[in-house]
Amino acid sequence: MSFAALERRLNYTFANPALLQQALTHRSHSARHNERLEFLGDGVLNFVVAALLYERFQNIDEGDLSRVRASLVKQSTLADIAQRLDLSGYLRLGEGELKSGGFRRPSILADAVEAILGAIYLDQGFEAVRQVIAGLYRELLDKVDPDTQGKDAKTLLQEWLQGRHLELPQYQVVCIHGVAHDQQFEVECAVPAFDIHIRANGSSRRAAEQTAAGQVLEQLLPLSPVDIKRRQAAGKARQQAERLAQFKATHGRAAQGESR
């Protein structure tokens, strides 16, 4: 198999192509697999991304730097990089992994990216792998917002509402589907100030809450200040109408009871 196209995407040519072949080899394929290279690449990647963040964001503290780095080296980010590199077509997998779609599995893709970085380090040293990582992460780093990067949807939604002195979101499990070992949770996220009620599903309550919170954010973040005030006013009017209707219903029943 030729690795020329992959090397062009990496902007790197291996002096020892056997290292790249090993980096693309899953343990299901043969005894000479990529796990040790993955271990090495993980360490190199964490260090280089930390250095890139340190140089680029000189006014944020250690805690925020750690949070941003974690979001940039997590499995889903590495799997996205693997997709950009079109790694699926180069992976060497055992028959079982091939049949089960292992070439699409995020964990296998992410591990292969780290293994390639480890292979580059062994092939031509630290500066070579630093340049490759900087190239792979250039676009991602340009989009980094230290205030939000790495924060989950529930945290971002809470901070958005708190920043405007609004009531926090309310989460409620609507129903649970499936058997004990394979359940799906349906959760509602309500934001009373905007009369928003979003339902989402997940394999756990937390996962469903995160999905629902993310969908609420998709509605709130594009709003202009004028839109926010208008939506707040509409939400408040509906809340008042609901409270009035509830009051009338309660007192109406009480009056009927007395008349009897």
> What are the sequence ranges of the domains in the chain?
4-142, 153-259
**Residue 22: C-alpha distances to residues 72, 83, 115, 118, 180 (Å):** 25, 19, 8, 11, 41
Task: Note whether 63 and 158 are within 8 A (CB).
Answer: no
Please give the pLDDT value at position 4.
Answer: 93
Query: Is 38 a known ligand-binding residue?
Result: yes
Q: Is the pLDDT of residue 53 over 90?
A: yes
Average pLDDT over residues 231-235: 75
CATH number of 153-259: 3.30.160.20
pLDDT band at 24 (very low <50, low <70, confident <90, very high): very high
Task: Note whether 14 and 123 are within 8 A (CB).
Answer: yes
Q: Does the active-site annotation cover 242? A: no
Please give the pLDDT value at position 104.
Answer: 85
Average pLDDT over all residues of the chain: 89
Query: Is 114 a known ligand-binding residue?
Result: yes
Architecture of the domain whose range is 4-142: Orthogonal Bundle (1.10)
The number of residues in the chain equals 260
Q: Of 97, 114, 123, 209, which one is the catalytic site residue?
A: 114
Please give the pLDDT value at position 102.
Answer: 83
Are 4-142 and 153-259 in the same CATH fold? no
Q: Of 42, 97, 123, 209, which one is the catalytic site residue?
A: 42
Q: Does the active-site annotation cover 114? A: yes
